[in-house]
Homo-oligomer: A and B are copies of this chain.
């Protein structure tokens, strides 16, 4: 039998979501989150770099999925198709998490500091996509522009996907891409 309960990380995440949702982000102290998880403040900071990071869990895995998908896209694919492969992987990974993301979304939306962190995650996806494109021999300028445009579009689509009750994310992305093309 172990000295401590397992799953500390998950317990901290759940405690944080509950408390941030209930009392607001800035009104919740890290000590309170740790206490609800049955741990101390010090241990919180061993799992998460700061008070915000606890809300942003699987982003690294998604970035890895994105990079892998680009690396494994068929030979002969152009920049746009390579980027689509990467974004598509993220979309498929996000699709089943709609409910979970909807619990987090109002918390993040209400606190500028949390939106700021979310933007950082998006930026890291942009950088990852750009590098993955360059690794597939897309010239740097093209890689930068395409990566930036696709991730920005994904963000817009994901926001609507969470806000509305309609289509799945893949369809939303496709529709938004069509709207963008139609407007130029």
* Assembly stoichiometry (copies): 2
Which secondary structure characterizes the binding site on chain A? helix
- The minimal Cβ–Cβ distance linking A160 to chain B, given in whole angstroms, is 7
Residue of B nearest to A79 (CB): B183
Q: State which of A14-22, A33-41, A97-105, A142-150 sits at the interface with chain B.
A: A142-150
B contact residues around A9 at 8 Å (CB) = none
B contact residues around A174 at 8 Å (CB) = none
Are A179's CB and B142's CB within 8 A?
Answer: yes
- The minimal Cβ–Cβ distance linking A77 to chain B, given in whole angstroms, is 12
- The minimal Cβ–Cβ distance linking A123 to chain B, given in whole angstroms, is 6
> What is the 8 Å Cβ interface bit string for chain A, positions 104-124, against chain B (1 contact, 0 not)?
000000001001110110110
Given A120-B112, A123-B115; A156-B148 close (CB under 8 Å): yes
Are A183's CB and B142's CB within 8 A?
Answer: yes
Alpha-carbon distance A180/B147, docked complex (angstroms): 10
